[in-house]
């Protein structure tokens, strides 16, 4: 029994790391797929399509904060953005950071190539008010941050002139005030993450992993 217990002590952290890594892989792939879908819809419908991330989901648990996403297309006749598809949850324990954290800027790939972290965080709170987008639902108003894709396939964040729009995802969750708790951390920061860069000139997405 002692040997089994000792072995379990080594296996459990390893399995947790595998699970966390799997969540990030699947979440990053799904996020990239939805960004590509938004771009393709903008080209196909010859309109502007917004990829929106809920920043304050209207429920007590705030389970949708920084992990519930949806696409919205500009309707030429009404001048309003209409939802295309439902709100979609990214994997459980997969949350999007509100900025580009220092642990990402200090990553090996960022130190080797500073251009990988040169850009604007799509969810940055310091962005201007025009970078926010209030959507309406049966639950009430849902504020979001967004990136939008244009009919030529390019992308933009209102108020930003940077070439790259950046998402950083990690294992964790956000509370009602959007304070993020990392479920796998060391030295006060996340130990694993996925970074997705959208090239605003082409609208293409690239994924970086530590």
pLDDT digits (tens, 9 = 90+) for 26-78: 999 999 999 999 999 999 999 999 999 999 998 767 789 999 999 999 999 99
- 116-129 pLDDT tens trace: 999 999 999 877 67
% of the chain beyond a pLDDT of 70: 89
Neighbours of 27 (CB within 10 A): 23
What is the model's pLDDT at position 129?
Answer: 72
Q: Which domain holds residue 49?
A: 2-208
pLDDT at residue 19 tops 50: no
What is the model's pLDDT at position 16?
Answer: 44
How deeply is 101 buried, as exposed, middle or buried, from its count of CB atoms within 10 A (0-12, 13-18, 19+)? Answer: buried
Do 184 and 192 contact (CB within 8 A), yes or no? yes
% of the chain beyond a pLDDT of 90: 71
CA distance 62 to 178: 9
**Confidence band for 15, pLDDT divided at 50, 70 and 90:** very low
What is the model's pLDDT at position 128?
Answer: 66
The CATH code of the domain that includes 148 is: 3.55.40.10
Mean pLDDT of 103-120: 96
Mean pLDDT of 142-148: 95
CA distance 177 to 199: 30
What is the model's pLDDT at position 5?
Answer: 43
Q: Which residue, among 116, 105, 101, 112, has the nearest Cα to 163 in the 3D structure?
A: 116
What is the model's pLDDT at position 60?
Answer: 67
CA distance 87 to 179: 22
Q: Where are the beta strands (DSSP E) in 105-160?
A: 120-121, 132-137, 140-149, 155-156
Mean pLDDT of 78-88: 95
What is the model's pLDDT at position 20?
Answer: 52
Reduce the DSSP state of residue 202 to 3 states and report it. Answer: coil
Q: Give the CA distances from residue 21 to residues 10, 28, 61, 67, 92, in Å, rounded to whole numbers and listed in that order.
A: 17, 10, 25, 17, 13
CA atoms within a 13 Å half-sphere pointing along the CA-CB vector of 110: 18
- Kind and range of the H or E run holding 21: helix 2-45
**Confidence band for 154, pLDDT divided at 50, 70 and 90:** very high
pLDDT at residue 18 tops 60: no
What is the model's pLDDT at position 3?
Answer: 46
How deeply is 124 buried, as exposed, middle or buried, from its count of CB atoms within 10 A (0-12, 13-18, 19+)? Answer: middle
What is the model's pLDDT at position 8?
Answer: 41
CA distance 52 to 75: 16
Question: What one-character DSSP code corresponds to residue 47?
Answer: S
Reduce the DSSP state of residue 72 to 3 states and report it. Answer: strand
Total domains, the chain: 1
What is the model's pLDDT at position 132?
Answer: 86
């Amino acid at each position: 029994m002692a040997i089994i217990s000792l072995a379990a002590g080594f296996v459990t952290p390893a399995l947790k790391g595998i699970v966390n890594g799997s969540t990030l892989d699947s979440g990053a792939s799904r996020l990239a797929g939805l960004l590509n879908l938004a771009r393709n819809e903008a080209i196909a419908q010859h309109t502007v399509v917004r990829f929106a991330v809920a920043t304050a989901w209207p429920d007590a648990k705030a389970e949708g904060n920084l992990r519930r996403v949806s696409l919205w297309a500009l309707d030429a006749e009404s001048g309003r953005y209409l939802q295309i598809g439902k709100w979609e949850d990214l994997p459980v324990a997969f949350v999007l950071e509100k900025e580009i954290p220092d642990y990402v800027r200090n990553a090996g790939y960022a130190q080797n190539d500073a251009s990988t972290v040169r850009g604007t965080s799509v969810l940055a709170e310091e962005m201007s008010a025009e970078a926010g987008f209030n959507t309406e639902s049966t639950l009430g108003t849902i504020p979001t941050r967004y990136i939008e894709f244009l009919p030529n396939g390019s992308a933009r964040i209102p108020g930003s002139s940077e070439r790259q729009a950046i998402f950083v995802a990690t294992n964790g969750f956000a509370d009602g005030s959007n304070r993020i708790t990392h479920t796998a951390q060391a030295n006060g920061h996340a130990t694993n993450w996925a970074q997705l860069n959208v090239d605003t000139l082409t609208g293409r997405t690239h994924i970086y992993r530590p």
